[in-house]
Amino acid sequence: MLMTGPGDPNQQDGAWGQDSWRPAQQQPSFGPGQAPPPWAQLPPGSGPQAAGGQQRRLPEVSAWGNVVAAAPWFFWSLILVIWIGGVFGYPAGWIVVGAWILSGAVVFVGSVEDLLARYLFRLRRPTLIERERLQPVWRQLHARAGTNPERFTLWVQESDDVNATPTPGHVVAVTRWALYTLPPQHLEAALAHELSHHLGGRSWLSLLGFWYSIPSRAGLIAARAIARLVKKVPAVGCGVLAFLALAWIGLSLAAVVGGAGFIWPLVYLTPFVAPPFLAWVNRWQVKEADRRAASMGYGSTLVQVLYGWQHQHQQNLGRETTRRQQVMSNTPTLADRVHTLEQSTV
């Protein structure tokens, strides 16, 4: 027996049906005394028809912007690699540092992007039916942005979030939630945000920057794990923090006694202070992608997408988490993103 659901491709009258490319015209019904949700009160989104069918070229951002965004990641990755190289002692540790720097050449191998997408970001290729749904919206988006769709490859992330994890190079990902839930006009706005992460720079530069950021990202994941451990099991978490503090003191004393000066204690301290700053860089990049999508005319539609996701997942529009979690978060809050889009749309 064939079963269908609201987001099932086999359902002819659902989001995947023959009329899926036309927005639904039916009015939502609300119970007595119930006010419609905020996303239902917003003005219609700005799709290609709202722009009068004119192609709108996205203002290019200098490739130096990518360099500036990648510089903090590279710096703290270098510090972490130097720290790891210290285990072998110097000058032998410089072999580890040199090997890591030379390893960046692998990004110029064609198959590396697919391997990173599949095994590091856990993405998958869209199925035939999913591709049929994505392609018209994808081509329309590129026609509006003035870019070549053949430069990029579409992937799907098995996630219920509104946006996928930003990916480097030519890989553009969309979440399963956006693919199966959003009507075409809103799906196009979500894809505009994803594509905006790749515009205004050089794809090989973003891929190289990501490769050198992997040690920092691993350190950021470890810092978040320690923070969760401190919250759930305070005794074990405090023990881990005490061990790291003693390790820093030991390395610093060894550097001072060995005549290396006081610069190395500061270098060894950077992995402890870097995670909040790197998390802020991630949040800034998400907001920049929102601004670029708004510059293409998708601002109000993307606001509707965010409100719809918030309404479906019963999330608060304001501060959904504690202040500590916000400092370490890779993504801005819904309120921050809505404010960014509203300011960029006005």
Is the pLDDT assigned to residue 44 strictly greater than 70? no
Assess if residue 165 is contained within a domain.
yes
Instruction: Give percent of the chain with pLDDT exceeding 70.
Output: 69
161 touches 145 (CB < 8 A): no
Strand partners, 172: 154
CA dist 193 and 298 (Å) reads 9
Assess if residue 254 is contained within a domain.
yes
Give the pair of three-digit tokens for residue 12.
């002819």
Is the pLDDT assigned to residue 323 strictly greater than 70? no
Give pLDDT tens digits for 145-186.
888 888 899 999 999 888 888 888 889 999 999 999 999 999
177 touches 159 (CB < 8 A): yes
Assess if residue 99 is contained within a domain.
yes
> What is the average pLDDT score of the chain?
75
Number of domains in the chain: 1
* Domain housing 315: 63-345
Give pLDDT tens digits for 80-102.
888 788 777 777 888 888 999 99
Is the pLDDT assigned to residue 22 strictly greater than 60? no
What is the SS3 assignment for the chain?
A: CCCCCCCCCCCCCCCCCCCCCCCCCCCCCCCCCCCCCHHHHCCCCCCCCCCCCCCCCCCCCCHHHHHHHHHHHHHHHHHHHHHHHCCCCCCCHHHHHHHHHHHHHHHHCCCHHHHHHHHHCCEECCCHHHHHHHHHHHHHHHHHHCCCHHHCEEEEECCCCCCCCCCCCCEEEEEHHHHHHCCHHHHHHHHHHHHHCCCCCCHHHHHHHHHHHHHHHHHHHHHHHHHHHHHHCHHHHHHHHHHHHHHHHHHHHHHHHCCCCCHHHHHHHHHHHHHHHHHHHHHHHHHHHHHHHHHCCCHHHHHHHHHHHHHHCCCCCCCCCCHHHHHCCCCCCHHHHHHHHHHHHC
Instruction: Give whichever of 190-194, 268-272, 318-322 has the largest mean pLDDT.
Output: 190-194
Give the pair of three-digit tokens for residue 35.
């006010």
Assess if residue 46 is contained within a domain.
no
Is the pLDDT assigned to residue 58 strictly greater than 80? no
Average pLDDT over residues 203-232: 81
CA-to-CA dists, residue 111 to 115, 199, 206, 283, angstroms:
6, 22, 16, 29
306 touches 290 (CB < 8 A): no
pLDDT category at 230 given cuts 50, 70, 90 is confident
Assess if residue 295 is contained within a domain.
yes
Looking at residue 90, its pLDDT comes to 73
Looking at residue 63, its pLDDT comes to 53
Assess if residue 4 is contained within a domain.
no
Give the pair of three-digit tokens for residue 26.
């039916």
Is the pLDDT assigned to residue 317 strictly greater than 90? no
Assess if residue 53 is contained within a domain.
no
Looking at residue 200, its pLDDT comes to 65
Q: Could you identify the residue written with the tokens 């945000």?
A: 193
**Exposed (0-12), middle (13-18) or buried (19+): which is 66, by Cβ within 10 Å?**
buried
Give pLDDT tens digits for 268-292.
676 667 777 878 888 888 898 899 8
Looking at residue 330, its pLDDT comes to 75
Of 82-86, 115-119, 123-127, 187-191, the range with the lowest mean pLDDT is 82-86
Assess if residue 234 is contained within a domain.
yes
